[in-house]
Amino acid sequence: MEVTEAWYLILSAMLFALGATGLMIRRNPLVMFMCVELMLNAVNISFVAFSKMYDDLAGQSAVFFVLVVAAAEVVVGLSIVVALLRRRPTATADDLVELRG
């Protein structure tokens, strides 16, 4: 049995749905960031699958830019989460209002 691009797109859709479900259900900020990263990686898999399907490098170059944006998002997001968790160790995503100063 050969693995085609359709299998990668199905995997990508399943990972994206798992990340979206985790983002909506969980309230822990660290878990929420991991779910966003899972969703971004699912999109990257679909970009590469479409790039291979259409024999074009535009999808792979888009993956590069998505990874750069994801890295910047992790730096900013983790600094906010660490600031929140230092102030209140059992904080949830609803407690971000406390960071207003």
Domain parsing of the chain, residue ranges: 5-100
What is the average per-residue pLDDT within 15-38?
Answer: 92
- On the question of pLDDT at 101 being above 70, the answer is no
Domain at 5-100: CATH code: 1.10.287.3510
Round to whole Å and give the CA distance between 87 and 71.
Answer: 25
Contact 33, 74 (CB under 8 A): yes
- On the question of pLDDT at 15 being above 90, the answer is yes
Q: How many CA atoms lie within 13 A of 1 on its CB side?
A: 3
Alpha helices in the chain (DSSP H): 5-25, 29-53, 58-87
Dump pLDDT digits (tens) for 33-71. Answer: 889 999 999 999 999 999 999 999 999 999 999 999 889
What local confidence, expressed as pLDDT, does residue 89 receive? Answer: 81
Dump pLDDT digits (tens) for 71-100. Answer: 998 899 888 888 878 887 888 877 777 667
